[in-house]
């Protein structure tokens, strides 16, 4: 039985958070975390959208989770669906309660604390995906082109150097596998 509790809970603490009867387990809407003995949180179960949120979280960099995700995601989704979710995560708008026109300070705080770090995590995830599991891209020209367009048309608008660097990596991998 789960009792209401306090805790992290997603974007600005708005998601309901429940603490189970096990003191080392936290259950959030669509995400189950277990506290390990070293204090870190282990993802036990999650929806695909919540997994993408977790591997690109603005506060919790977890390279091990990214690696584990990249090794296993094909058992529950496709590369195209993964890219769709990463692009949606990168381009996510601010929460409805933040009106850029009415409250520029709140918008800037959201941008600095959430949008910029999430965007960096998405690009770093893409870098890991391209670098560690090229097999997903090898022979999949459509996926390669979608990533290239995303980097050139969307990522470059917010960070031209980062986009250029990853485009260079993508093109080098593409050339090496041709």
Retrieve residue 133's tokens.
Answer: 């599991």
**Bigger pLDDT: 174 or 130?**
130
Does residue 160 have a pLDDT over 70? yes
Q: How confident is the model at residue 18 (pLDDT cuts 50, 70, 90)?
A: very low
* Of 95, 90, 97, nearest in space to 116 by CA: 90
Residue 97, phi then psi, degrees to nearest 5? -75, -5
- Determine how many CB atoms are found less than 10 A away from the CB of residue 117: 15
DSSP string, 36-77: -TTS-EEEEEE-HHHHHHHHT-SS---HHHHHHHHHHGGGT-
For the whole model, what pTM was predicted? 0.80
Residue range 13-17: mean pLDDT, rounded: 39
Q: Residue 12 has what pLDDT?
A: 41
Q: How confident is the model at residue 19 (pLDDT cuts 50, 70, 90)?
A: very low
List the single range of 30-39, 76-85, 121-130, 165-174 with lowest mean pLDDT: 30-39
Half-sphere exposure of 43 (CA within 13 A, CB side): 21
Mean pLDDT of the chain: 84
Q: How confident is the model at residue 24 (pLDDT cuts 50, 70, 90)?
A: low
| Separation CA 146–CA 101 (nearest Å) | 32
| Separation CA 57–CA 92 (nearest Å) | 13
Q: Residue 156 has what pLDDT?
A: 97
Residue range 94-114: mean pLDDT, rounded: 92
**Bigger pLDDT: 34 or 151?**
151
| Separation CA 41–CA 59 (nearest Å) | 13
Query: In sequence order, which ranges of the chain are alpha helices (DSSP H)?
Result: 48-55, 63-72, 79-90, 104-110, 116-132, 141-150, 156-158, 160-177
């Amino acid at each position: 039985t789960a009792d209401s509790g306090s805790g992290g809970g997603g974007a600005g603490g708005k998601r309901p958070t429940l603490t189970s009867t096990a003191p080392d387990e936290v259950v959030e809407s669509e995400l189950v975390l277990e506290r390990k003995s070293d204090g870190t949180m282990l993802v036990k179960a999650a929806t695909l959208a919540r997994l993408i949120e977790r591997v690109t979280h603005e506060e919790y960099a977890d390279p091990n989770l990214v690696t584990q995700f990249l090794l296993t995601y094909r058992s529950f989704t496709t590369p195209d669906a993964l890219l769709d979710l990463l692009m949606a995560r990168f381009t996510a708008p601010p929460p409805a309660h933040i009106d850029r026109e009415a409250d520029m300070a709140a918008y800037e705080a959201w941008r600095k604390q959430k949008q910029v770090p999430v965007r960096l995590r998405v690009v770093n995830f893409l870098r890991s995906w391209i670098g560690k599991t090229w097999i997903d891209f090898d022979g999949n020209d459509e996926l390669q082109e979608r990533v290239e367009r995303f980097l050139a048309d969307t990522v470059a608008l917010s960070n031209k150097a980062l986009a250029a660097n990853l485009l260079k990596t993508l093109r080098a991998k593409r050339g090496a596998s041709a």
